[in-house]
């Protein structure tokens, strides 16, 4: 920072903070636009066998959060040197914008969320009626918005956020659905994130993931199935234990009444 101030002074620059603000916002814009429509819209799985070997990756659907990205590091560092509150409002605005109207698309919006999480405390965010939890909720919606675009699902993001996700899943897997690998990935994500334990739906999606060779999500959904079975088994044991306790309590209650009657 001292070097920057000395250079600014040597070059007679009196707007160093403004330059740093502009630099931080320019770094925020992603270089590569996330092209949600790079896939072939005619790529369906109707002619694919269900026993196709599982291989390949989820490259199109998976999106690694740039939380510790070098660019995010730079932005956070710059923010510590300037009036952070002034930039905070601009960063929050990104999370509420349509990705199609943002330079850099979803990547820029996700980067803005990561900067907010790293650079600001809840106390600072409170000035804008915001906090880390709200950032995460908005980030989750943004990432699902990206999956909706990839799968060509025409549901406005605001509507999607309000809808019951089990109803969304059932509408997406309804008979006559034109399946694509991206749609299978989206539905699987909704099932896991919202713990939708509908056997017929899960079986359908597992078959689609296998056909699309989405190995990572296929394994994730199988792991979810194991979790549901384990959870169900624990619940059955709990109910059986409670029933046994109820029987025992009734038995002891009856014995106590008999003793009272006998000995007053």
Q: pLDDT, tens digit, for every residue of 102-115?
A: 999 999 999 999 99
Q: With helix as H, strand as E and coil as C, how does 121-153 read?
A: CHHHHHHHCCCHHHHHHHHHHHHHHHHHHHCCC
User: Residue 48 carries which DSSP code?
Assistant: S
- Does residue 35 surpass a pLDDT of 50? no
The pLDDT score that the predictor gives to residue 237 is: 65
Average pLDDT, the chain: 80
**Tokens standing for 185?**
């990935």
The pLDDT score that the predictor gives to residue 46 is: 44
- Does residue 56 surpass a pLDDT of 50? no
Q: Are 66 and 114 in contact (CB under 8 A)?
A: yes
- Mean pLDDT, residues 176-198 taken together: 93
Alpha carbon distance 33, 35 (integer Å): 6
The pLDDT score that the predictor gives to residue 186 is: 96
- Mean pLDDT, residues 164-180 taken together: 93
- Does residue 14 surpass a pLDDT of 90? no
The pLDDT score that the predictor gives to residue 133 is: 96
The pLDDT score that the predictor gives to residue 74 is: 93
pLDDT digits (tens, 9 = 90+) for 74-112: 999 999 888 888 899 999 999 989 998 999 999 999 999
Alpha carbon distance 233, 120 (integer Å): 43
Residue 3 pLDDT level (bands cut at 50, 70, 90): very low
Q: Are 196 and 175 in contact (CB under 8 A)?
A: no
The pLDDT score that the predictor gives to residue 86 is: 86
The pLDDT score that the predictor gives to residue 250 is: 59
When comparing pLDDT for 137 and 234, which is higher?
Answer: 137
- Mean pLDDT, residues 26-53 taken together: 53
Least confident of 152-166, 172-186, 201-215, 233-247: 233-247
Least confident of 36-50, 169-183, 197-211, 223-237: 36-50
Cβ atoms within 10 Å of 25's Cβ, excluding its own: 16
Alpha carbon distance 76, 40 (integer Å): 38
When comparing pLDDT for 194 and 239, which is higher?
Answer: 194
Residue 240 pLDDT level (bands cut at 50, 70, 90): low
């Amino acid at each position: 920072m001292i070097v920057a101030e000395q250079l600014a002074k040597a070059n007679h620059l009196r707007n160093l903070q403004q330059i740093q603000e502009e630099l931080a916002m320019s770094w925020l814009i992603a270089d590569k636009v996330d092209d949600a429509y790079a896939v072939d819209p005619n790529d369906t799985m109707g002619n694919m066998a269900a026993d196709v070997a599982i291989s390949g990756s989820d490259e199109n659907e998976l999106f690694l959060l740039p939380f510790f990205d070098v660019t995010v590091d730079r932005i956070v560092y710059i923010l510590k040197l300037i009036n952070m509150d002034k930039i905070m409002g601009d960063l929050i605005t990104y999370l509420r914008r349509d990705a199609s109207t943002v330079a850099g698309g979803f990547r820029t919006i996700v980067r803005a969320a990561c900067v907010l999480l790293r650079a600001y405390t809840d106390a600072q965010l409170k000035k804008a009626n915001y906090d880390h939890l709200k950032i995460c909720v908005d980030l989750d919606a943004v990432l699902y918005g990206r999956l909706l675009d990839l799968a060509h699902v025409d549901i406005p993001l605001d509507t999607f956020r309000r809808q019951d996700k089990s109803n969304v899943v059932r509408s997406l897997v309804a008979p006559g659905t034109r399946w694509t690998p991206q749609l299978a990935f989206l539905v699987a994500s909704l099932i896991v994130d919202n713990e939708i334990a509908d056997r017929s739906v899960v079986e359908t999606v597992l078959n689609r993931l296998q056909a699309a060779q989405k190995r990572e999500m296929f394994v994730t959904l199988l792991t979810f199935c194991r979790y549901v079975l384990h959870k169900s088994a624990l619940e059955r044991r709990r109910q059986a234990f409670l029933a046994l306790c109820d029987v025992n309590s009734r038995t002891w209650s009856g014995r106590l009444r008999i003793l009272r009657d006998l000995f007053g």
